[in-house]
């Protein structure tokens, strides 16, 4: 499916598989979901309930079997037939393992699929194709402390040393409280995988064996809330009674895990939440659930579940002295949309989320009458030896987005490139450089 066809498909009222009646199996569950605890604890079941309501099912409810972190979402047809969807939430890696042994139809993951998993599952089709890899929500890993802890911000280098056990007391960070107590998710967790990738592995460090490990996000958060010396990392909806601190990465400003900064993925510890659907073994319920999750109704459920939806909105940005003058001028006269376009690794091609976001941005532009010279694209890149090359590449990325918008009838106001200015992540690691290569959308 070409990008333009995809946009037409999505914009035409989010044409939906789920609108048609889905087949109901005579025996066993209609759909089996395995994977991320972050998704499976509530968001996944809530999306399933929304789909069952769209299907016109009655008496929708959740059943909890004896196994921890597993649920059944059950509905009933008008004829009294039960429809069962099973959700097992034991960590992202378990979802991919379940696809391999055919015990799941859909994997829920709070991290991108690993190359080793992609290789192991290649007989099921290309799980990196746009139809297979579906970003359903954005989440931010919050670094949480006990509410009484006076510390307000940390950087990712400090975090790595803290969780590796090298920084042992709060006094070493300018705080107070004595020994630091570490709390972390278990090895099966996508939350742990994301923290390991974004913080620990990037600096060649491993999690301290002294850390207390949890399968449950809620239990971890409550443990930190009750420990004056505690620190942990958690998905955004699970901050609960704990205190979140601002995080800086490299030369970026320290940022709190605010919805607007997570939606644009500027916040250093933001992450994507995924559904993975094997292309060669298609379950119509899995296809319908993924489509529903992308729809406005599905994204509304994402927001009410405590995550950050991908619904495009305009936000005001206050100018400050750290911004280039041209960017300050833009922020005084225009509003920024809550989306950044990013690119496939090592490529000038839009990544899978950007393909989905293009349809959403086009929908916003057309609904709000912004098709005639009301849109400015701003490109950024990672640090280069030659600043002129960085400027050129940042503008070329913005031009790549411009081409797609122009194909769909948008007349641009301006395209600008700011090179390696205003990084949102460190340029000393591949992940940071990829994050800095971005295109913002501004509207007048």
pLDDT tens readout for residues 299-333: 999 999 989 999 999 999 999 998 999 999 999 99
Work out the burial of residue 262: count CB atoms within 10 Å of its CB; fewer than 13 is exposed, 13-18 middle, 19 or more buried: buried
Q: What is the mean pLDDT of the chain?
A: 92
Q: What is the CATH number of the domain that holds 358?
A: 3.30.1330.60
Q: Are strands 243-244 and 133-145 parallel, antiparallel or unpaired?
A: antiparallel
Residue 241 covered by a domain: yes
Note whether 171 and 68 are same-domain residues: no
pTM: 0.83
Note whether 359 and 421 are same-domain residues: yes
Contact 69, 215 (CB under 8 A): yes
Q: Give the domain extent around 155.
A: 140-261
Note whether 191 and 129 are same-domain residues: no
pLDDT of 386 > 90? The answer is no
Contact 76, 58 (CB under 8 A): yes
pLDDT of 287 > 70? The answer is yes
Note whether 392 and 336 are same-domain residues: yes
pLDDT of 288 > 70? The answer is yes
Residue 205 covered by a domain: yes
Residue 128 covered by a domain: yes
pLDDT attached to residue 43 = 96
pLDDT attached to residue 282 = 85
Q: What is the CATH number of the domain that holds 298?
A: 3.40.190.10
Contact 417, 391 (CB under 8 A): yes
**305-310-316 Cα angle (round to 5):** 105
Give per-residue pLDDT as tens, 112-168: 999 999 999 999 999 999 999 999 999 989 999 999 999 999 999 999 999 999 999
pLDDT attached to residue 433 = 83
pLDDT attached to residue 343 = 81
Q: How far is CA 343 from CA 118, 286, 303, 311, in A?
A: 19, 27, 25, 20
User: What does the alpha-carbon distance between residue 224 and residue 235 come to, in Å, rounded to a whole number?
Assistant: 14
Q: How far is CA 213 from CA 188, 195, 253, in A?
A: 11, 13, 30
Instruction: State the helix-helix crossing angle for 387-407 and 352-367, rounded to 10 degrees.
Output: 60
Residue 2 covered by a domain: no
CA-closest candidate to residue 269, choices 418, 435, 402: 435
pLDDT attached to residue 229 = 97
User: What does the alpha-carbon distance between residue 77 and residue 346 come to, in Å, rounded to a whole number?
Assistant: 49
Note whether 220 and 167 are same-domain residues: yes
Residue 267 covered by a domain: no
User: What does the alpha-carbon distance between residue 195 and residue 160 come to, in Å, rounded to a whole number?
Assistant: 9
pLDDT attached to residue 20 = 59
Residue 4 covered by a domain: no
Note whether 194 and 118 are same-domain residues: no
Note whether 318 and 434 are same-domain residues: yes
Give per-residue pLDDT as tens, 89-101: 999 999 999 999 9
pLDDT of 387 > 90? The answer is no
Note whether 368 and 430 are same-domain residues: yes
Give per-residue pLDDT as tens, 225-235: 999 999 999 99
Using pLDDT thresholds of 50, 70 and 90, give the confidence band for residue 11.
very low
Residue 120 covered by a domain: yes
pLDDT of 3 > 60? The answer is no
Show which of 287, 304, 321 is a domain's final residue: 304
Give per-residue pLDDT as tens, 163-192: 999 999 999 998 888 999 999 999 988 899
pLDDT of 5 > 50? The answer is no
Give per-residue pLDDT as tens, 420-440: 999 998 877 677 788 899 999
Contact 352, 133 (CB under 8 A): yes
Note whether 292 and 243 are same-domain residues: no
pLDDT attached to residue 15 = 39
Residue 3 covered by a domain: no
Show which of 304, 327, 357 is a domain's final residue: 304
Residues 6+ apart with CB under 8 A from 122: none
Note whether 149 and 131 are same-domain residues: no
315-319 long-range CB contacts below 8 Å, 24 or more apart?
315/260
Note whether 148 and 256 are same-domain residues: yes
Question: Would you state the structure tokens that stand for residue 221, as one six-digit string?
Answer: 């958060």
Using pLDDT thresholds of 50, 70 and 90, give the confidence band for residue 23.
very high
Note whether 130 and 32 are same-domain residues: yes
Provide the domain count of the chain.
Answer: 3
């Amino acid at each position: 499916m070409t990008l333009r066809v995809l946009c037409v498909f999505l914009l035409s009222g989010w044409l939906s598989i789920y609108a048609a009646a889905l087949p109901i199996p005579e025996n066993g569950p209609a759909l089996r979901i395995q994977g991320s605890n972050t998704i499976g604890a509530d968001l996944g079941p809530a999306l399933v309930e929304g789909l069952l309501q769209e299907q016109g099912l009655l008496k929708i409810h959740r059943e909890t079997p004896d196994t921890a972190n597993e649920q059944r979402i059950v509905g009933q047809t008008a004829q009294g037939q039960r429809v069962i969807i099973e959700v097992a939430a034991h960590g992202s890696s378990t979802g991919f393992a379940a696809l391999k042994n055919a015990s799941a139809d859909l994997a829920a993951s709070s991290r991108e699929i690993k190359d080793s998993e992609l290789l192991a599952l290649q007989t099921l089709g290309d799980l990196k194709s746009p139809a297979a890899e579906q970003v359903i929500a954005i989440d931010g890993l919050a670094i949480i402390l006990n509410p009484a802890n006076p510390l307000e911000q940390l950087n990712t280098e400090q975090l790595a040393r803290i969780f590796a056990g090298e920084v042992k007391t709060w006094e070493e960070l300018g705080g107070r409280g004595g020994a630091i107590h570490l709390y972390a998710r278990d090895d099966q967790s996508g939350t742990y995988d994301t923290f390991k990738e974004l913080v620990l592995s990037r600096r060649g460090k491993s999690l301290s064996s002294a850390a207390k490990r949890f399968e449950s996000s809620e239990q971890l958060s409550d443990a930190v809330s009750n420990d004056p010396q505690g620190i942990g990392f958690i998905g955004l909806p699970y901050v609960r009674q704990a205190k979140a601190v601002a995080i800086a990465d490299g030369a970026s400003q320290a940022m709190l895990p605010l919805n607007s900064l997570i939606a644009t993925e500027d916040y250093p510890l933001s992450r994507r939440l995924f559904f993975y659907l094997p292309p060669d073994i298609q379950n119509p319920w899995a296809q319908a659930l993924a489509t529903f999750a992308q729809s406005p109704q599905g994204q509304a459920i994402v927001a009410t579940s405590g995550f950050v939806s991908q619904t495009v909105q305009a936000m005001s940005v206050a100018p400050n002295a750290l911004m280039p003058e041209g960017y300050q001028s833009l922020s005084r006269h225009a509003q920024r949309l809550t989306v950044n376009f990013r690119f496939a690794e090592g490529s000038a091609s839009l990544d899978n989320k950007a393909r989905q976001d293009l349809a959403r941005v086009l929908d916003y532009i057309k609904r709000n009458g912004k098709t005639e010279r009301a849109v400015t694209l701003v490109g950024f890149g990672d640090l280069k030896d030659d600043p002129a090359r960085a400027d050129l590449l940042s503008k070329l990325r913005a031009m790549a987005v411009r081409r797609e918008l122009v194909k769909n009838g948008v007349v641009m106001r301006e395209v600008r490139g700011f090179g390696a200015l205003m990084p949102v992540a460190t340029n000393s690691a591949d992940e940071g450089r990829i994050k800095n290569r971005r295109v913002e959308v501004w509207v007048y």
